Amino acid sequence: MRISVLIVLALLLVSPISVTAQDKLDAVELYRTGDYEGAIEVCRKELEEMPNRMDAHAVLGWSLMKLRRYQEALEASQEAFQISRYDPRVIETAGEALFYLGRQVEALRYFEEYAAISPTGGRIDSVYYFMGEIFIQRGRYNNADIALSTALYHSPNVADWWARLGYAREKGEDFQWSLEAYNRALALNPNLVDAVRGRSRVEQQL
């Protein structure tokens, strides 16, 4: 009887800890399985109880971005910055949200900040890709070349990025290297229309 009582007491003591640990994983698991609405709900409930929890702020921002709720993601990032201004996860989310909202100059500042703070971070390839796109849109083709080349250094098998690098070099009238980038894109995806058309344009310039 004494052993049974001790087991019951042990279970009562352990159970709340186990539930709490599981709760902390819920938002991440929901995000990973594509249930972004569920992840948002869990994060917001968790932040009501623990407003300083940066993991919840990060997953909240990621989930909002997946749902293309860019203004909400930006607002969530600004709230997170009140807790930790230099969390690279939140910095990247803020930059990406601003990019999709068309606020390029502000987005670029966050992307550059991410690259400085977290040069080997998990989103560094995408950060440099976004920087390259901003530079293209602003007519800064040499800068775009550098940014996209860096993105491809980290993730060399993205055909679309090679095509964009080819385009940046083409606009900068660096036709030989532009052709090489388009060829790299087509080696990865022979049916990539932008690369096919870009290569055809460049070949006429050589």
Average pLDDT of the chain, as a whole number: 90
Q: Calculate mean pLDDT across residues 173-177.
A: 97
Boundaries of CATH 1.25.40.10 in the chain? Answer: 19-111, 123-206
pLDDT, residue 18, reads 35
| Residue 87 exposed, middle or buried by CB count within 10 Å (0-12, 13-18, 19+) | buried
Whether domain 123-206 has CATH 1.10.3720.10 = no
- The rounded distance, in Å, linking the Cα atoms of 95 and 107 is 4
Query: For the residues 133-139, what does the mean pLDDT come to?
Result: 97
pLDDT digits (tens, 9 = 90+) for 26-60: 899 999 999 999 999 999 999 999 999 999 999 99
Fold of 19-111: 1.25.40
Q: State what percent of residues in the chain have pLDDT above 70.
A: 88
Identify residue 70 by its one-letter amino acid code: Y
Average pLDDT over residues 149-174: 98
Prediction pTM value: 0.85
Q: How far apart are CA 152 and CA 171, in angstroms?
A: 19
117/115 Cα distance (integer angstroms): 6
Q: What is the mean pLDDT of residues 76-96?
A: 97
User: Is residue 88 pLDDT above 70, yes or no?
Assistant: yes
- pLDDT confidence of residue 79: 97
Query: Is 136 exposed, middle or buried (CB count within 10 Å of its CB: 0-12, 13-18, 19+)?
Result: buried
Q: pLDDT higher for 187 or 14?
A: 187
If 0-12 CB within 10 Å is exposed, 13-18 middle and 19+ buried, where does residue 85 land?
exposed
